[in-house]
Amino acid sequence: MRTKGKVILVVVLFLILIVPLSLVIRSCNLAGKMVDDAFDTAYEEFKPSELLRKYEWFKNALASLDAKRADVKIMEARIKSIEETYDDTKRKDWPRDDRESYNLWQSELAGMKISYNSTAAEYNAQMAKLNWRFTNAGDLPKGATDVLPREVREYITE
In whole angstroms, give the CA distance from residue 121 to residue 134: 19
- pLDDT band at 128; cut points 50, 70, 90: confident
Where is pLDDT greater, at 107 or 148? 107
Same domain, 102 and 151: yes
Confidence class for position 110, pLDDT limits 50, 70, 90: very high
pLDDT at residue 103 above 60? yes
133 compared with 74, residue with greater pLDDT: 74
Render pLDDT for 22-37 as a digit per residue (tens, 0 to 9): 777 777 777 777 777 7
Residues 7 and 73 in one domain: no
- 142 shares a domain with 127: yes
Rounded Cα–Cα distance for residues 152 and 63 (Å): 12
Q: Are residues 111 and 70 in the same domain?
A: yes
How remote is the C-alpha of 79 from its chain's centroid?
34
Alpha-carbon distance of 158 to 63, in angstroms, equals: 22
- Quick one: 40 and 66 in the same domain? no
Asked if 131 and 54 touch (Cβ cutoff 8 Å), the reply is no
Would the pLDDT of 7 be above 80?
no
As a whole number of angstroms, the distance between CA 116 and CA 61 comes to 10
Kindly state the DSSP code that residue 152 receives in the 8-state scheme: -
Task: With beta carbons less than 8 A apart as the criterion, state whether 51 and 134 touch.
Answer: yes
Task: Count CB neighbours of 39 within 10 A.
Answer: 10
How many Cβ atoms are within 10 Å of 151's Cβ, its own excluded?
13
Pair 119, 142 in one domain: yes
Same domain, 10 and 61: no
pLDDT of 137 higher than 50: no
| 84 and 118 in a common domain | yes
**How would residue 116 be classed by pLDDT, with cut points 50, 70 and 90?**
very high
19 and 79, same domain (yes or no): no
Predicted confidence at residue 24, as pLDDT, reads 72
Q: What is the number of domains present in the chain?
A: 2
pTM for this structure?
0.66
The radius of gyration of the chain's CA atoms, rounded to the nearest angstrom, is 33
User: Which residues form the domain of 38?
Assistant: 1-46
Tell whether 52 and 90 lie within a shared domain.
Answer: yes
Boundary (domain end) residue, out of 46, 65, 80: 46
The secondary structure of the chain in percent helix, strand, coil, rounded to multiples of 5, reads 80, 0, 20
Mean pLDDT over 53-73 rounds to: 91
- Among 4-18, 50-64, 79-93, 134-148, which is the least confidently predicted range? 134-148
Q: Which of 12, 28, 46 is the last residue of a domain?
A: 46
**The pLDDT value given to residue 134:** 52
Helix (H), strand (E) at residue 70? helix 48-85
Average pLDDT, the chain: 81
**Same domain, residue pair 98 and 69:** yes
* Same domain membership, residue 14 and residue 73: no
Residue 54 reports pLDDT greater than 50:
yes
